Amino acid sequence: MMRLRLEIAVLLVLVGLASHPATAQPQPAESACQAPNATLEERIAGCSAIIESSRERGRALAIAYCNRGCALTEKSELDRAIADLDAAIKIDPKYACPYSNRGRALRAKGELDRAIADYDQAIRLHPKFAVAYNNRGDAYMAKNDLDQAIADFSQAIKLNPDNSRSYRNRGFAWYRKRNFDRAISDYTQQIRLTPNDMMAYLNRGNAWRKSKTPKNRSPIMPR
């Protein structure tokens, strides 16, 4: 069965925290809070060290809560994740990241309308937030609103045309609408971007099997 894999919003917010004098540089454990190659446990520990140090304020502290909340979501510790993301929003209500990540946690709990409301707010704050469009599309797909899901995936692609996830997700939406040519086109673009993704080939093969289009005819290209 084909599944959607949500894009991880934390990848967009692994930025440096507020700068400090050399005597107050983040410790190695704290650096894991924003290091892209950190494990979930390392990220949680690093963000916790920042939060518990009481050195950070404002956006920098919100980033630590947002990144820890995302890691907790990936560990399926959803209530703890939501508590962290609530804290990030309270600290910096104009920061889009925690709304998007809280939407992911709520989506995982099956609270689709609340998830969509959070994605809406993330997009209001950051209209070019491709991750929020992608993940809102997933929530609409779960509500079987395939047209709105496709619109969101298409906007995510417009904002970030090099991200294979949105092509995969839109391909699956087209597949569910039984528009197999468009599904094939999106899976083909996904393969161009991530040629080692085995699932992309399997998904495209399933679409070819369902399609009435002969394999020697080029499908329409994604828009």
Among the candidates 160, 176, 209, a domain finishes at: 160
Out of 30-34, 149-153, 198-202, 210-214, pick the least confident.
210-214
Whether 144 maps to a domain, the answer reads: yes
Q: Are residues 40 and 78 located together in one domain of the fold?
A: yes
- pLDDT of 2 > 60? The answer is no
Q: Are residues 154 and 189 located together in one domain of the fold?
A: no
- 81-99 pLDDT, tens digit each: 999 999 999 999 999 999 9
Q: Are residues 80 and 153 located together in one domain of the fold?
A: yes
- 9-21 pLDDT, tens digit each: 333 334 344 434 3
What's the mean pLDDT when you consider all of the chain?
Answer: 85
Q: Are residues 20 and 100 located together in one domain of the fold?
A: yes
- What's the average model confidence in pLDDT over 119-127? 96
Q: Are residues 150 and 77 located together in one domain of the fold?
A: yes
- pLDDT of 6 > 60? The answer is no
pTM for this prediction:
0.81
Q: How confident is the model at residue 170 (pLDDT cuts 50, 70, 90)?
A: very high
Q: What is the pLDDT of residue 89?
A: 96
- pLDDT of 142 > 50? The answer is yes
Residue 162, judged by CB atoms within 10 A of its CB (0-12, 13-18, 19+), counts as exposed
Q: What is the pLDDT of residue 36?
A: 81
Q: How confident is the model at residue 211 (pLDDT cuts 50, 70, 90)?
A: confident
Q: How confident is the model at residue 25 (pLDDT cuts 50, 70, 90)?
A: low
Q: What is the pLDDT of residue 5?
A: 46
Indicate which CATH number applies to the domain containing 204. Answer: 1.25.40.10
Domain span at residue 134 reads 9-160
Q: What is the pLDDT of residue 19?
A: 38
The count of structural domains within the chain is 2
- pLDDT of 28 > 90? The answer is no
Out of 34-38, 154-158, 177-181, pick the least confident.
34-38
Whether 1 maps to a domain, the answer reads: no
Whether 3 maps to a domain, the answer reads: no
Q: Are residues 123 and 152 located together in one domain of the fold?
A: yes
